[in-house]
Amino acid sequence: MTDHPEPPAPEGFVRHFRSSPLTDPWEPLYARRTPDAVITGMWTRQAHTNSRGIVHGGLITTLADNAMGQSC
pLDDT digits (tens, 9 = 90+) for 26-44: 888 999 999 988 888 888 8
pLDDT at 71 over 70: yes
The DSSP secondary structure of 12-50, one letter per residue, reads T-EE-S---TTTGGGPPEEEEE-SS-EEEEE---GGGB-
pTM of the full structure: 0.73
Mean pLDDT of the region 32-61: 91
pLDDT of 1 strictly over 60:
no
Q: How far apart are CA 71 and CA 47, in angstroms?
A: 27
| pLDDT computed for residue 4 by the predictor | 66
Cα–Cα distances in angstroms (integers) from residue 55 to residues 45, 47, 71, in the given order: 8, 9, 23
